[in-house]
Amino acid sequence: MRPDLAPEHVRPLTPNETFRFRCHPGVACFTDCCRELELALSPYDVLRLSKHLGLAPSTFLDQYALIEQAEGNGFPQVFLCMVDDGRASCPFVTASGCRVYADRPGACRTYPLGRGAFTTPDGDRHEMHILLNEPHCKGFSEGDPQDITAWQKDQDLATYNAMNDELLGILHHPRLQDGYPPVELEEEIFLLLYSLDTFRNLLLDGTLALPIPITKNERQELGTEDLALLRLGIRWLGHVLSRR
């Protein structure tokens, strides 16, 4: 992000730069950031939230998600549905905080940072970070100085970032950048990445045939391990896109 184009409260953050931030019930704005927001959910977010709530992913999506198709991009956008309470509150926020805190979405964990990742033509992955120092947030006067690495470790972001990075090849695939793909591909993307219970059932009953080789251990994991299933979906979709 060019500094001259960033909003006033947003600035790039270098890897070794420190910042202060801590959110807790004692700050005057506690839970305000959980209202009047547009919260996109990654496939891994859906996996974690549905498991936390004891719901199948397809049930979670029916009850809590809004699915949109962005113009000019074949990747579905999944947003958390907010409560119609006059403040567009997150359905999981309470007076005492977040009731799904242990499995809260990656965007909630990352705040007040923003993270962008990309892959160069030579295959190397890079990341950049910004600091969102919003005027209404009182958390910036709290806590000890820390850098990006310390914050990511504290917020348990390693797997969230890793899974988002695994998706880069799909998100930036040329076939998804040139307008809407065929309807069947939109449905395939959603099945392989978001509706994991349906994906698993179709695999186990033989309706879907694997188009890529997998190991014996991977095959055994597919019946119970959601993360292994999501990783298979990413590989599967990469294979599908490379052949179209």
Q: What percentage of residues in the chain have a pLDDT greater than 90?
A: 70
Nearest to 24 by CA among 113, 124, 142: 142
190: buried, middle or exposed (CB in 10 Å: 19+, 13-18, 0-12)?
Answer: buried
> Which class for 153: exposed (0-12), middle (13-18), buried (19 or more C-beta within 10 A)?
exposed
Average pLDDT of the chain to the nearest whole number: 90
* C-alpha angle 36-42-44 in degrees, rounded to nearest 5: 125
pLDDT of 69 > 80? The answer is: no
pLDDT level of residue 4 (50, 70, 90 thresholds): very low
Higher-confidence residue of 165 and 124: namely 165
Residue 244 has pLDDT above 70, yes or no: no
Tokens of 87: 């403040």
Rounded to an integer, what is the distance from CA 42 to the centroid of its chain?
3
Q: What is the mean pLDDT of residues 212-222?
A: 88
Whole-number pLDDT of residue 103: 98
pLDDT at residue 176, rounded to an integer:
77
User: Residue 1 pLDDT > 70, yes or no?
Assistant: no
What is the per-residue pLDDT for 6?
A: 54
Rounded Cα distance between 134 and 68, Å, is: 28
Give me the DSSP letters along 181-242.
Answer: --HHHHHHHHHHHT-HHHHHHHHHTTSS--SS---HHHHHHTTT-HHHHHHHHHHHHHHHHH
Mean pLDDT computed over 180-195: 84
Question: Tokens 């005057």 label which residue?
Answer: 28
User: In the Cβ-directed half-sphere of 222, how many Cα atoms lie within 13 Å?
Assistant: 19
**pLDDT reading at 71 higher than 70:** no
On the question of pLDDT at 223 being above 70, the answer is yes
Residue 3, pLDDT score: 45
Terminus-to-terminus CA distance in the chain, angstroms?
Answer: 33
Mean pLDDT lowest for which of 4-8, 185-189, 212-216? 4-8
Q: Is the pLDDT of residue 66 over 60?
A: yes
pLDDT above 50 (res 153): yes
Confidence category of residue 70, pLDDT binned at 50, 70, 90? low
Regarding pTM above 0.75, the answer is: yes
If you search the block for the tokens 């990445």, which residue do you land on?
193
Contact 134, 86 (CB under 8 A): no
**Has residue 72 got a pLDDT over 60?**
no
Name the residue with tokens 């964990």. 109
Q: Give the closest residue to 48 by CA, choosing from 82, 80, 21, 83.
A: 80
Q: Is residue 213 pLDDT above 80, yes or no?
A: yes
Contacts of 155 (CB under 8 A, 6+ apart): 109, 110
pLDDT at residue 243, as a whole number: 80
Q: What are phi and psi of 6, to 5 degrees?
A: -80, 145
